[in-house]
Amino acid sequence: MSRGLLIAIGLAGAAALIIPLILLSGRSDSLDWQKDYDSALATAKARNQMVVAYLYTDWCTYCKKMEAETFTSDQVKGEAGRYVWLKLNPERDEYGARLKQQYGVTGYPTMLLLDSGGALLDQIVGFMPAAPFLQALAGIATRVSSLDALKEQSKQQPVSVEARYALAEKYLELKNFSLAADGFARVIQTDPDNKHAKTELSYYHLAVSLASMNEHAKAQEQLDLLLGKFPTGKLAAEATILKGQIFYRQNDVPAARDEFEQFLVKYPTHEKTSLVRRMIQEIGPDLPLSAAH
């Protein structure tokens, strides 16, 4: 079973995008690599830009390719002034090692896109030629600008369930699962009776956020609450699938299979029936997790 199914099923919807101001900033003729983490964040704050933290190693072949072809290209040089560039080797640099551990970096090159406070906005993994690399950066910057707008909206409307939900949803889109979880929890606390039709969604997305941080027991607890409060809700079927997926990630194959089979009994005409049948087939009758791929 694809591990990506968890997030693919979990993510729903997206807020409208806003053209970022930083896309209109000046140009530069070369990459001005910084080597100090704190200094890079200070520069980013002063310029209202995001940090491109490039993690590399001396032995990484594709890192050398990235440096020789992408970072030296006229395209990237021409757009360099839009971002703050930070270059760290996790095998030698203290902050490089910290970022590697904090964000679970397992391959190189990896570009971590950070805000001026050091929070992860997104990441780019592996070699990319200049054009798609710049396109990826611009897309992330656009989403960040949208995040800023939602943060301001939430600040101006501190008790608005809709504003809180939109901000939490944006954090989830940006894979900032910790802040997303906090946001969805606040929505549930603010509107426990679902008067604004966001509480059921918040239980589900809170579970997705927690599971994405490997807090599986807490995620299951939120799904149980969702199913208890909204047994015939719009997300009851999706919640049952997600419970099975989380059990699978915990290596509890029998429990995962039980959830999937319950889904087929309760929702025989659901649009994801064929997907669940395929997941059951891939798990097999008595296969351990390592053999179920």
The pLDDT score that the predictor gives to residue 45 is 92
Instruction: Dump pLDDT digits (tens) for 204-257.
Output: 999 999 999 999 999 999 999 999 999 999 999 999 999 999 999 999 999 999
β-partners of residue 125 are 110
The pLDDT score that the predictor gives to residue 96 is 94
State which amino acid sits at residue 174. L
Instruction: Specify whether 178 is located in the same domain as 111.
Output: no
Instruction: Specify whether 174 is located in the same domain as 211.
Output: yes
Q: Which of 128, 148, 168 is the last residue of a domain?
A: 148
Domain contains 248:
yes
Q: Has residue 120 got a pLDDT over 90?
A: no
Instruction: Specify whether 77 is located in the same domain as 111.
Output: yes
Confidence label for 14 from pLDDT (cuts 50, 70 and 90)? very low
Edge-to-edge strand ranges of the sheet holding 110-114: 33-34, 84-88, 51-55, 110-114, 120-125
Domain contains 13:
no
Domain contains 27:
yes
For residues 260 and 15, the model is more confident at 260
Instruction: Specify whether 143 is located in the same domain as 102.
Output: yes
**Domain residue limits at 163:** 157-291
Instruction: Specify whether 66 is located in the same domain as 119.
Output: yes
Instruction: Dump pLDDT digits (tens) for 30-75.
Output: 589 999 999 999 999 999 899 999 999 999 999 999 999 999 999 9
Instruction: Specify whether 114 is located in the same domain as 87.
Output: yes
The answer to whether the beta carbons of residues 209 and 174 sit under 8 Å apart is no
Instruction: Specify whether 196 is located in the same domain as 99.
Output: no
Mean pLDDT of all residues in 126-146: 88
Q: Is the pTM of this model over 0.85?
A: no
Instruction: Specify whether 162 is located in the same domain as 281.
Output: yes
Domain contains 5:
no
d(CA 251, CA 124): 29
d(CA 252, CA 292): 12
Name 205's Cβ contacts closer than 8 Å, sequence gap at least 6.
10, 12, 168, 169, 172, 180, 184
Mean pLDDT of all residues in 172-195: 91
Instruction: Specify whether 138 is located in the same domain as 171.
Output: no
Alpha helices in the chain (DSSP H): 5-10, 37-47, 61-65, 74-79, 94-102, 130-156, 161-173, 177-190, 199-212, 216-229, 236-249, 253-266, 273-283
The pLDDT score that the predictor gives to residue 284 is 67
